[in-house]
Amino acid sequence: MIERADILVLGLGPAGASAARAAAQRGRRVVALERKRKAGIPVQCAEFVPAMIDAEVAGAVRQRIQAMATFVEDEAADLQPDFPGQMLDRAAFDAGLVARAAQAGADCRLDRRVIRIAKDGTVHLADGGRLRARVIVGADGPRSQAGRAIGSVNTDLVETRQVTVPLRQPHAATDIFLSADMPGGYGWLFPKGGVANLGAGVVPAHRGCLKRILERLHASLGDRVGREILATTGGVIPVGGMLQPWGRLEETLVLLAGDAAGLANPVTGAGIAAAVQSGRLAGEAAASGAAPAYQEELEDLFEAALARALRRRRELLERVPTKAALRRGWIAYPEYWQ
Ligand SMILES: Cc1cc2nc3c(=O)[nH]c(=O)nc-3n(C[C@H](O)[C@H](O)[C@H](O)COP(=O)(O)OP(=O)(O)OC[C@H]3O[C@@H](n4cnc5c(N)ncnc54)[C@H](O)[C@@H]3O)c2cc1C
């Protein structure tokens, strides 16, 4: 028995939940499949979003951010006083988006792992279930199976490791640590009330150094944070820029959204806002069937920022970066935008 739906959404992260909601609001029969048992858990995220997606984050905000402090190698911080955003409870955020998709009428199924997508568009689940739809929205993250099925694969990735630690003093800035010791990535301390997410990312070739890099960063913060590790996470971020966001598997149209479409920023690694925006557009396009228009919308929204970030990232990776090169490669500095 192959179950039928109008639209199948793979993954219920921010992109998938936004897509499922938008498509269900347009009256389509939407089935959304997520391998996690509880939406948003485990969290693999530093939880910062810029001010732009206020409506979606309501209820999940844990702290306001006003500024960004950038540390280049061992120098004192450069402060950008006007860099607003919010720190989220990412588990609550994802769960909230899934609840809104379900309210709109999407059939959101947790604990459903997609193991294969056949050439004819049939989606096979680990529990033996099989589903087919007119449209598949691939919102299944950086290593998307939907993307693989249509030949759109994120090949450039950053590997990350993050710990949550006690934060001893209130802080309203995101701290960024730039160093030649973190090739292709950077370190971060993002405050969330009485704790902070402290992490680092690097190119995959340096993955083996991540634990040491993070321990050194932790030690360098002295009394600002506690020694205790409250949680550890990590994961990959796609940093190669936007992929071809749609294709076909016989009669089935496949649209990609969020990390599956390569929409995370190649310099900052931020991808939550792009996932929400692209997910909503993918849900609308899935309902209308207008794939080329979807691609155009993504290009209009994201291409310029992604192209600049890709250029800067490539410049940084050409040789061991000087302090000036690190500044030119980071969004807080005017050189980045020149
Ligand atoms: C350590 C770390 C820190 C980050 N910090 C930030 C930050 O501070 N701010 C920011 O904006 N971005 C951050 N990002 C990036 C951000 O998390 C992603 O860009 C964002 O989650 C993309 O949303 P998405 O819905 O496209 O994908 P995801 O959130 O990855 O959701 C994909 C969903 O698909 C599910 N799935 C995958 N495969 C299958 C399968 N086979 N079957 C069923 N379900 C499946 C997954 O379980 C997941 O729930 C960070 C990423 C990492 C790794």
* CATH number, domain 3-44+89-155+240-318: 3.50.50.60
Q: CATH topology of 3-44+89-155+240-318 equal to that of 63-87+156-238+321-337?
A: no
Amino acid letter, residue 46: A
Quote the DSSP letter at residue 308. H
- Whether ligand 1 lies within 6 angstroms of the CB of 85 is answered as no
Q: What is the pLDDT at residue 228? A: 97
Helices vs. strands in the chain: H and E counts, helices first: 9, 18
CA distance readout (Å), 116 to 111, 131, 234, 247: 16, 11, 25, 17
Terminus-to-terminus CA distance in the chain, angstroms? 57
Please give the full DSSP string across 207-259, using - where no structure is assigned.
Answer: GGGHHHHHHHHHHHTGGGB-S---EEEEEEEE-S-----EEEETTEEEEE-GG
Q: What is the pLDDT at residue 58? A: 72
| pLDDT at residue 30 greater than cutoff 70 | yes
- Whether ligand 1 lies within 6 angstroms of the CB of 264 is answered as yes
- Whether ligand 1 lies within 6 angstroms of the CB of 241 is answered as no
Q: What is the pLDDT at residue 92? A: 95
pLDDT tens digits, one per residue of 260-286: 999 999 999 999 999 999 999 999 999
| Strand duo 85-88 + 48-50: pairing | antiparallel
Q: What is the mean pLDDT of residues 242-252?
A: 98
Beta partners for residue 174, in sequence order: 68
Burial of 233 from C-beta contacts in 10 A (0-12 / 13-18 / 19+): middle
Q: What is the pLDDT at residue 50? A: 86
Distance 311 CA to ligand 1 centre (A): 24
Q: Which ligand 1 atom is the nearest neighbour of the CA of 261?
A: 26
Measured between alpha carbons, how far is 170 from 104 in angstroms, rounded to an integer?
Answer: 39
pLDDT tens digits, one per residue of 201-244: 999 999 999 999 999 999 999 999 999 999 999 999 999 999 99
Q: Is omega for the bond preceding 191 within 30 degrees of 0, making it cis?
A: no
| Residue 185 in tokens | 């990535």
What are the structural domain ranges in the chain?
3-44+89-155+240-318, 63-87+156-238+321-337
Q: Which are the contacts of 23, defined by CB distance < 8 A and separation ≥ 6?
A: 6, 7, 9, 30, 106, 137, 283, 284, 286, 287
The CATH number, out of the four listed (3.90.550.10, 2.60.40.1510, 3.30.9.10, 3.40.50.1100), of the domain defined by the range 63-87+156-238+321-337: 3.30.9.10
Q: What is the pLDDT at residue 51? A: 76
CA distance readout (Å), 102 to 25, 32, 237, 316: 10, 9, 27, 43
Instruction: Report the percent of the chain where pLDDT is more than 70.
Output: 98
What is the pLDDT of the chain when averaged over all its residues?
96
pLDDT tens digits, one per residue of 81-120: 999 999 999 999 999 999 999 999 999 999 999 999 999 9
CA distance readout (Å), 228 to 38, 88, 164, 168, 257: 27, 22, 9, 12, 37
Q: What is the pLDDT at residue 54? A: 62
- Whether ligand 1 lies within 6 angstroms of the CB of 163 is answered as no
Distance 60 CA to ligand 1 centre (A): 16
| pLDDT at residue 253 greater than cutoff 90 | yes
Q: What is the mean pLDDT of residues 179-193?
A: 97
Distance 324 CA to ligand 1 centre (A): 32
pTM above 0.75, yes or no: yes
Measured between alpha carbons, how far is 179 from 66 in angstroms, rounded to an integer?
Answer: 24
Please give the full DSSP string across 26-44, using - where no structure is assigned.
Answer: TT--EEEE-SSSBTTBS--
pLDDT tens digits, one per residue of 33-89: 999 999 999 999 999 998 766 666 678 999 999 999 999 999 999 999 999 999 999
Instruction: Report the half-sphere exposure of 146 (CA within 13 A, side-chain side).
Output: 34
